[in-house]
Amino acid sequence: MNTLSLPQHLMPLLMHIEPLLVPAQLYQLGDEVNVTINNEQLIKIKTATKECSLAFNFIAAENDDLQPTYQVRDQWLAPFDELEVLRDKVVTDSSLILCGYPTTDGCFDLWHHQGQARATYCHHSGASEAQRAMLLVALALDYPIDDALVLARAHARSYQDHNCRAQGELVWPTTAKVFPRAVVSHDSELEQFGCHSNDNALTPFASLDRTKLGLYPVVDSVNWVERVLQLGVTTTQLRIKNLHQSRLEQQIQQAVVAGIACQAQVFINDYWLLAIKHHAYGVHLGQEDLDSADLAAIQQAGLRLGISTHGYYEILRALEYQPSYIALGHIFATSTKEMPSLPQGVSRLALYQKLIGERCPTVAIGGITIERAGKVWRTGVTAVAVVSAITQADDPEAAIAELNNILVANVENQAGGALSDDSIRAL
């Protein structure tokens, strides 16, 4: 059981925290959270994977034991530092989190991530107590800090907009309009953020053929690309790791040729320069690649773009690039790739799909077996990506046929798009 321990002076937050724990359990978003009151100065949170402490508007003390993991500043009285100055402080202090920094037409949330400052922006901050409560609940449910801050801002706005205090109403944020925007390199809000970019705003990447989505095998060799295409697959991805450059380029070129011959959508993972060179159908990039890849060059070459995501913040970030699809993962534990995050599970997947809606095609990936495929498909995703379910099957042809049958059998449920709240809770 996870624990959330509040100092006595924050007991009023219980009126906001307890209603949030109800939908968290109904949606099966994490382990049960036990809330207690302590006689200390810091908020204490313990989950299966982390222990952290937190304080709002922290005042440094000589006692190092009182130094919190996260110092959240969320009260702003003029005069205060310019946003650019505060951004630099966040870069150098990994514990500092700035919430609701006010500007003339909105507010920013800023936090530290691997030596950089991340930020989200929205036009109004919402209710402050509701924001604090969701931040603590999300951390206690083992969401990473990025996602906890996104959920906190979305809940604060939803609470203020819809007065979610009505008894019995589920208050978990699910509608896209209450979520903030992720600030990215080509964002028009960069000037307020203290940055200046020479990048032009990206237009939407080329769209893919949704009728060819559904089953999406991810394979590690051109032989497998050719094999699954011959078995009727119409969308696949070549994901090669640690291969010598000359052999790598040959495989990519062959995969592109095979895709053209079969009129299939073949995506190349990571190697965007080679994908452009050989006129690939599309390229798939991870979050870390978004900072280094020349997205404008990929777009101008006419390639489709898929982006990996692992939670709320990364989804919001991916949406800013208007990709051809967004991958949502990893849904279940997987041994095919080392993952930086916890498995998301089907309930979180359904909420992510509800957030994205019809704005972008989606691909669920990670640990999806034949037995799990139907449940994943019913969340409303556009495609289901599988790896070992095909490549390690005794009979890959039979596995592909069975997976296709599962998707066809559930197409009426899937065709309606994102699930209702009741359906999500029933997953």
Rounded to whole angstroms, the Cα distance separating 274 from 304 reads 14
Taking phi over 0 as left and psi of -120 to 50 as alpha, with beta for the rest, 410 belongs to alpha
- 8 A C-beta contact, residue 176 and residue 359: yes
Per-residue burial over 265-276, b if 16 or more Cβ lie within 10 Å, else e, is: bbbbbbbbebbb
Residue from 256, 320, 336 nearest 287 by CA: 320
Catalytic: 157? no
**Identity of the residue numbered 300:** Q
Count of H helices and E strands in the chain?
A: 16, 17
Which of the following is catalytic: 308, 347, 348, 354?
Answer: 308
Please calculate the CA angle 404-409-411 and round it to the nearest 5 degrees. 90
Phi-psi region at 281: left, alpha or beta (left = phi > 0; alpha = psi -120 to 50): alpha
| Number of residues assigned to the chain | 427
Task: Please state whether beta strands 235-238 and 362-364 pair in parallel, antiparallel, or not at all (unpaired).
Answer: unpaired
* 308 labelled catalytic: yes
C-alpha torsion sign, points 306, 241, 302, 256:
negative
Give the residue from 366, 334, 367, 329 showing the smallest Cα distance to 348. Answer: 329
Respond yes or no: is residue 375 known to be catalytic.
no
Q: Which of the following is catalytic: 87, 118, 132, 239?
A: 239
- Bridge-based pairing state of the strands 96-103 and 70-73: parallel
Among residues 50, 165, 247, 337, the one annotated as catalytic is 337
- Rounded distance, CA 226 to CA 278, Å? 17
Torsion, Cα of 320, 141, 130, 119 (10° steps)? -30
Residues annotated as part of the active site: 239, 308, 337
